[in-house]
Amino acid sequence: MHIEEEMRLIAKQAKVASQSIGLLSTEKKNEVLNQAADALIAETSFLMEENKKDLDKATQNGLTAALIDRLTLDEKRIEAMAIGLREIAQLEDPVGKLISKKVLENKLELTKVAVPLGVIFMIYESRPNVTADASALCLKSGNATILRGGKEALHSNIAIATVLKKSFVNSGLHEHTLQLITVTDYEAVNELLKCEHDINLVIPRGGRSLIEAVTSQSRIPVVKHDKGLCHTYVDAKADLKMAEAIVLNAKTQRPGVCNAMETLLIHQDLKDSFVPQIVKSLQAKGVEVRGDQTIVQAGSDVVEAEDHDWEAEYLDLILSIKVVADIDEAIAHIREFGSGHSEAIVTDDAAAAEKFIQEVDASGVFHNTSTRFNDGGQFGMGAEIGISTDKIHARGPMGIDELTSYKFIVRGTGQIRS
Amino acid sequence: MHIEEEMRLIAKQAKVASQSIGLLSTEKKNEVLNQAADALIAETSFLMEENKKDLDKATQNGLTAALIDRLTLDEKRIEAMAIGLREIAQLEDPVGKLISKKVLENKLELTKVAVPLGVIFMIYESRPNVTADASALCLKSGNATILRGGKEALHSNIAIATVLKKSFVNSGLHEHTLQLITVTDYEAVNELLKCEHDINLVIPRGGRSLIEAVTSQSRIPVVKHDKGLCHTYVDAKADLKMAEAIVLNAKTQRPGVCNAMETLLIHQDLKDSFVPQIVKSLQAKGVEVRGDQTIVQAGSDVVEAEDHDWEAEYLDLILSIKVVADIDEAIAHIREFGSGHSEAIVTDDAAAAEKFIQEVDASGVFHNTSTRFNDGGQFGMGAEIGISTDKIHARGPMGIDELTSYKFIVRGTGQIRS
CATH number at residue A202: 3.40.605.10
Q: How far apart are CA B137 and CA B115, in angstroms?
A: 14
Is the same domain home to B263 and B191?
no
Residue A74 within a domain: yes
pLDDT for the residue A293: 95
Is the same domain home to A113 and A253?
no
With beta carbons less than 8 A apart as the criterion, state whether A345 and A366 touch: yes
Relative to beta strand A342-346, strand A364-367 is parallel
Sign of the Cα torsion B359, B360, B362, B368 reads: negative
Burial class for A293, CB neighbours closer than 10 Å (0-12, 13-18, 19+): exposed
Q: How far apart are CA B354 and CA A134, in angstroms?
A: 31
Relative to beta strand A404-411, strand B364-367 is parallel
**CA distance between the termini of chain B:** 55
pLDDT for the residue A296: 95
Residue A415 within a domain: no
CB contact residues (below 8 A), chain B span 376-415, against chain A? 378-380, 390-393, 395-397, 405-415
Instruction: For residue B108, give the amino acid letter.
Output: L
Per-residue pLDDT of chain B (418 residues; tens, 9 = 90+): 799 999 999 999 999 999 999 999 999 999 999 999 999 999 999 999 999 999 999 999 998 888 899 899 999 999 999 999 999 999 999 999 999 999 999 999 999 999 999 999 999 987 899 999 999 999 999 999 999 999 999 999 999 999 999 999 999 999 999 999 999 898 999 999 999 999 999 999 988 899 999 999 999 999 999 999 999 999 999 999 999 999 999 999 999 899 999 999 999 999 999 999 999 999 999 999 999 999 999 988 999 999 999 999 999 999 999 999 999 999 999 999 999 999 999 999 999 999 999 999 999 999 999 999 999 999 999 889 999 999 999 999 999 999 999 999 999 999 999 9
Is the same domain home to B215 and B109?
yes
Instruction: For residue A240, give the amino acid letter.
Output: L
CB contact residues (below 8 A), chain A span 62-121, against chain B? 102, 104, 108, 110, 115, 117-118
Is B391 close to A200, i.e. CB distance below 8 A?
yes
Is the same domain home to A265 and A239?
yes
With beta carbons less than 8 A apart as the criterion, state whether B408 and B112 touch: yes
Contact list in B for residue A242 (CB cut-off 8 A) is 413-414
* Cβ-proximal residues to A298 (8 Å cutoff; 6+ apart), any chain: A271, A275, A276, A279, A291
pLDDT for the residue A66: 81
Is the same domain home to B192 and B294?
no
Is the same domain home to A69 and A216?
yes
Q: Which domain holds residue A83?
A: 3-225+385-410
Concatenating the DSSP letter of every residue in A77-101 gives: HHHHHHHHHHHHHHSPP-TT-EEEE
Instruction: For residue A330, give the amino acid letter.
Output: A
Q: How far apart are CA A18 and CA A118, in angstroms?
A: 5
With beta carbons less than 8 A apart as the criterion, state whether B156 and B71 touch: yes
Is the same domain home to B163 and B244?
no
CA-based nearest distance A3→chain B, Å: 20
Is the same domain home to B201 and B262?
no
pLDDT for the residue A1: 75
Is the same domain home to B316 and B211?
no
Q: How far apart are CA B153 and CA B129, in angstroms?
A: 10
Residue B239 within a domain: yes
* Cβ-nearest to B357 among A239, A249, A409: A409
Is A200 close to B409, i.e. CB distance below 8 A?
no
Q: Report the DSSP beta bridge partners of residue B230.
A: B261
Is B367 close to A409, i.e. CB distance below 8 A?
yes
What CATH number did the domain enclosing B250 receive?
3.40.309.10
User: How many domains are contained in chain A?
Assistant: 2
Residue A418 within a domain: no
Stretch (H or E) spanning B28:
helix B26-42
Is B368 close to A239, i.e. CB distance below 8 A?
no
Residue A417 within a domain: no
Residue B416 within a domain: no
Concatenating the DSSP letter of every residue in A241-288 gives: HHHHHHHHHHHHSSTTSTTSEEEEEEEGGGTTTHHHHHHHHHHHTTPE
pLDDT for the residue B66: 82
Most B CBs within 10 Å, among A281, A405, A406, A418, to test the B interface: A405
pLDDT band at A65 (very low <50, low <70, confident <90, very high): confident
Is the same domain home to A44 and A118?
yes
Is B359 close to A23, i.e. CB distance below 8 A?
yes
Stretch (H or E) spanning A396:
strand A396-398
Is the same domain home to B85 and B188?
yes
Residue B380 within a domain: no
Concatenating the DSSP letter of every residue in B212-261 gives: HHHHHH-SS-B--B----EEEEE-TT--HHHHHHHHHHHHHSSTTSTTSE
Residue B379 within a domain: no
Is the same domain home to A240 and A363?
yes
